[in-house]
Amino acid sequence: MSCVAVAVAGLWASPDAPRAIDASALGNPALLEHWLAALDDDTRLALCKEKRLATQVLLDTPVGILERRRDSQGNDWCRVVVPNQRSSLDPRGYPGWIPATQLAEGEGCLAVGTEAATVVTPVAWMQGLPQGRSLKLSFLTRLSVATPSSDEDLSRIWVETSLGRGWLPRGSVHLPDESFPAVAATLETLGRRFDGLRYLWAGNSSFGYDCSGLVHSLFAAIGIALPRDASDQVETGQPVELGERRPGDLLFFEKPDDTGRLVVDHVALYLGEDRMLHSPTNNARIECRRLGGSRYAEQLCAVRRYLSTPEAS
């Protein structure tokens, strides 16, 4: 079994998709914040317009390796699928390319379906790693819980990872028997913690989300697995009339593509009272805004429901 061995790995369109400015995101460790700080408006926008980045994958997430290749610079890459990110692009999971140096084999990797400690704060520092290292982790990173010892500090949760044994502050994680209530209020509370976070095309971590990455992560936090992309998400859930939406529903929006065909290209979480939470577009930031009177009201094409009863809102 193989898994991601950096805090957040990018899944790229091809080994030649990254540019020189992306180099700091490709190593081990991945210097994600350094990379994001170096991107200006144009280089961020190019990730989208040129479809360079496909999605992001968190530490210890299992992947299936399909192919290995060396790029023009002599760096080794793996074409993989990510089973926990469903996609119509591949029934095995989201497909793309990851630098081989950002993958680990076997020991420490979290098997699919394994119970784990889950980061539930926007970020959390894992400390106590070999050589005294520490690592800043994203919301929803899942790691195997280490076997406790008799003198365990109750303020810490020890975990076994592909990078070795480390610990996380107890308040930053849920253990396997802990969960958030699967209600609309939880989705809003979790989502509002990311107010102001800058949009990132293909972002699926709390260092930057795109629209579908944000809702994919919020619903995963309450135990509901959505596909990764908005175009696939709209094919799931219970269809709801546009005027019957309620808190916790997802709103989908459409625009013409390059051929003039209308396609779903945006998704938002409905909060009730004409409010929605979303990660709007390139070089904007996650926000809560009114739907009425906006361009989004004109583009709204579908509503989908995942919470089963009105009481769940």
Given this model, what pLDDT does residue 312 score?
46
Domain match, 258 and 239 both: yes
pLDDT tens-digit map of 150-164: 556 789 999 999 999
Q: Which domain holds residue 151?
A: 117-174
> Could you tell me if residue 295 is inside a domain?
yes
- 173 has a pLDDT exceeding 60: yes
State the Cα–Cα distance between residues 96 and 59, nearest whole angstrom: 16
Which are the contacts of 276, defined by CB distance < 8 A and separation ≥ 6?
Answer: 251, 268, 269, 270, 288, 289, 290, 291, 296
- Return the CATH number at 154: 2.30.30.40
Segment 190-194 mean pLDDT: 98
Alpha carbon of 277 to those of 54, 58, 184, 285: distances in Å? 23, 23, 12, 11
Given this model, what pLDDT does residue 259 score?
85
Domain match, 271 and 168 both: no
pLDDT tens-digit map of 20-64: 999 999 999 999 999 999 999 999 999 999 999 999 999 999 999
Given 174, 198, 216, the domain boundary residue is: 174
Domain match, 194 and 297 both: yes
> Could you tell me if residue 12 is inside a domain?
yes
Given this model, what pLDDT does residue 148 score?
67
Domain match, 148 and 197 both: no
> Could you tell me if residue 111 is inside a domain?
no
**Phi, psi values for residue 122, rounded to 5°:** -55, -40
Given this model, what pLDDT does residue 113 score?
64
Which are the contacts of 44, defined by CB distance < 8 A and separation ≥ 6?
Answer: 200, 201, 282, 283
- 214 has a pLDDT exceeding 70: yes
- 91 has a pLDDT exceeding 80: yes
pLDDT tens-digit map of 111-152: 766 779 999 999 999 999 999 899 999 999 999 998 765 556
Domain match, 199 and 290 both: yes
- 226 has a pLDDT exceeding 60: yes
pLDDT tens-digit map of 244-297: 999 999 999 999 888 889 999 999 999 999 999 999 988 899 999 999 999 999
Adjacent-strand bridge partners of 10: 56
Domain match, 16 and 98 both: yes
> Could you tell me if residue 43 is inside a domain?
yes
- Return the CATH number at 231: 3.90.1720.10
Q: Considering the entire predicted model, what is its pTM?
A: 0.95
pLDDT > 70 fraction of the chain, expressed in percent and rounded: 96
3-state secondary structure of 84: coil
> Could you tell me if residue 276 is inside a domain?
yes
Task: At 220, list the tokens.
Answer: 């995963």
> Could you tell me if residue 284 is inside a domain?
yes
Given this model, what pLDDT does residue 151 score?
56
Given this model, what pLDDT does residue 149 score?
55
Domain match, 297 and 238 both: yes
Domain count, the chain: 3
Segment 217-244 mean pLDDT: 97
Domain match, 91 and 146 both: no
Q: How confident is the model at residue 313 (pLDDT cuts 50, 70, 90)?
A: very low
Domain match, 202 and 305 both: yes
pLDDT > 90 fraction of the chain, expressed in percent and rounded: 86
Domain match, 161 and 123 both: yes
Segment 191-219 mean pLDDT: 98
Q: Work out the number of other CB atoms within 10 angstroms of the CB of residue 155.
A: 9
Average pLDDT over all residues of the chain = 94
| DSSP letter, residue 260 | S
> Could you tell me if residue 52 is inside a domain?
yes
Catalytic residues, by residue number, are 211, 266, 278
Domain match, 223 and 289 both: yes
Domain match, 304 and 198 both: yes
Given 72, 105, 138, the domain boundary residue is: 105
Given this model, what pLDDT does residue 242 score?
97
> Could you tell me if residue 110 is inside a domain?
no
